[in-house]
Amino acid sequence: MLSALLIFLVIFFFAYWAVKRGARFTLRPIAGYDALKGLFARSAEAGLPVHLSLGTAGVSDRFAADTAAALNVLEYLSERGAVSAAPPIVTLAHPTALPVAQDVMRRVYRQLGYPDEFDGTRARLLASDPFNFSTPRTDTFAYAVAAMRLLTQEKLAANVMVGHFGEGTFLLMSEPGAQRGMIQIGGTSAPEVLPFVHATMTHPLIGEEIYAGGAYLSGKPAHIGSLFAQDAMRWLLVAGMVSAVLLRTLGLF
């Protein structure tokens, strides 16, 4: 495990260095991110905000990577929202994600030169799981229901859902939007939720695609480098699996 991590680290730093030196990698198109880029023309024209859900996980649990992926999307949406004067409405269910989300938004407004325009209440902790705050559960219905109210009653340009979700939570939040014919972009890493992602999102992000947001939306060298390292590791894993199957079949292993 440690050796795999070290190999990953070496490939990642090599790719990061290469991108910094001007190397260009071609990224395959992902419809969800293309749609996200086109969203703000529509949002600004209609004067309506985009809803972004950061999911039910926090920044200190085993699904923290999903929240980190959602924060990359938040950064992009906040940049576009600040420029178009239609900042996104951000909802979340885990208390540890709230200060980080607010910090991301505050930083974007400060960098763009509108620090006074930042409104902390645009990021909202709707409801937290009352049973256990340290471990995300898949039945955070209080959050899902509060978000459902927002999605059915507020005028929104689109609904974006990226992060960790349970099956019930995701469906309760995404199906009302689908029934309203809303533009919905989103995904999660949990395989058991993916059928609902496919059924309710107009532009689904499947599994690991949620982690590619930083590379597709902001094009930061670190994100492109890590995407390259992911692909390189995937090839190594596939080569290892195929070799093991062949050796086993030939009775050499």
Partner 1 sequence: MRLLPTAIAIGVGLVTLLDYFFTLPLLDGLGFTFKQWTIILTAFALLLGLINLVRVHLTRIVRRNEASAGYSVIVLLTAVLVLGLGLWFKLPSPPMTWVFDHVYMPLQGTFFALVAFFIATAAYRALRARNLETTWMLLAALIVLLGQMPILGALADAREWVLNVPSTAGMRGILIGVALGTIATALRLLVGLDRPYSE
Among positions 45-84, residues that touch partner 1 (CB under 8 A) are 58-60, 64-65, 68-69, 71, 75
- DSSP-assigned letter for residue 235: H
How many residues sit close enough to partner 1 to count as binding (CB under 8 A)?
73
First-to-final CA distance of the chain:
21
Give the type of residue at 220: K
How many beta carbons lie within 10 A of that of residue 124, not counting itself? 17
Binding mask 148-187 vs partner 1 (x if CB under 8 A, - otherwise)?
-x---x-------------xx--xx--x--xx--------
* Interface pick for partner 1 out of 123, 157, 161, 183 (rule CB under 8 A): 123
- Helices 64-84 and 97-112 cross at an angle (nearest 10°) of 30
By the rule CB under 8 A, 222 interacts with partner 1: yes
Does the footprint of partner 1 cover residue 128 (CB under 8 A)?
yes
State which residue, 45 or 208, has the beta carbon closest to partner 1. Answer: 208
Which of 8-16, 22-30, 39-47, 243-251 is the region at the interface with partner 1 (rule: CB under 8 A)? 8-16
Provide the minimum distance between the beta carbon of 41 and partner 1 in the complex, in angstroms, as a whole number: 26
Determine the interface stretch with partner 1 among 23-31, 42-50, 126-134, 243-251 (rule: CB under 8 A): 126-134
Cα–Cα distances (Å) from 98 to 44, 82, 92, 163, 182, in that order, read 25, 19, 7, 14, 26
Answer for the pair 146, 140: CB distance below 8 angstroms, yes or no: no
- In the complex with partner 1, which residue's Cβ is closer, 8 or 84? 8
- Main-chain dihedrals φ then ψ at residue 163, nearest 5 degrees: 145, -160
